[in-house]
Amino acid sequence: MEYSNLLSLIGVFFFGISGTMVAARARLDLFGVAFVACVGALGGGTLRDLLIGHYPLRWVDDYRYIAAVLAGVMTALVFRDKLMAVKKLIFAADTLGIGFFMVSGIRLCLESGLSSPIALVFGMLSVIVGGLLRDVLCNEVPIILRKELVATASFAGGIVYLLLAWFQLPETLNTVGAVGFVALLRVLGWRYKWQLPTVNWH
């Protein structure tokens, strides 16, 4: 369980960075930035815990989750000039958050006794819900609904993790393989403009 929590904390940290950058782009005040970062980083995990019946919620029971988000916020604010000058860093922080949070979500669901397919679905939900809420609060069309491989990459990364775990490989290798695959898919998707077909009836 501690390894799963560590992965969650890493994911939350990177989501805290990306959430701060998105909120700052929307010109929110300091409280607004911190609030949006917390919602983006913790919203998905909250839904996952509610669905699997884990009470109290992990971020309520463990102060390190809030600390990890705030560390991400502070990191983004301290290095804001360099971070905001390189838009790719939002992409990088989001990608790392997606990878680590997907793996931790699957592990936590499996440790709660759920089957692999359900753990995969709940893991993906824990990844996408936070970003969706973050974008809505910043008055943006959620990026997952219009472009980039967010849900697809997280789902594929989850499958890679489960396959590696099925072969009983070392847990660190499973994590690195899954996170690396998520990063590879997102980079290739960004480089070659991959996205799911859009619906246009006009």
Residue 15: CB atoms within 10 Å? 33
Positive or negative torsion for Cα 168, 111, 38, 10: negative
The rounded distance, in Å, linking the Cα atoms of 16 and 116 is 28
What is the signed CA dihedral for 197, 186, 14, 39, rounded to 10 degrees? 10
Say what the pTM is.
Answer: 0.88
Q: Write the pLDDT tens digit of every residue in 86-126.
A: 567 778 888 898 999 999 999 999 999 999 999 999 999 88
202 residues of the chain, pLDDT tens digit each: 588 999 999 999 999 998 998 898 889 999 999 999 999 999 999 999 999 988 899 999 999 999 999 999 999 888 877 665 556 777 888 889 899 999 999 999 999 999 999 999 999 988 889 889 999 999 887 777 666 678 889 999 999 999 999 999 999 999 999 999 999 998 898 888 887 777 777 6
What DSSP letter does each residue of 147-202 carry, written as one string?
SSSSHHHHHHHHHHHHHHHHTT--HHHHHHHHHHHHHHHHHHHHHHT--PPPP---
pLDDT score, position 1: 55
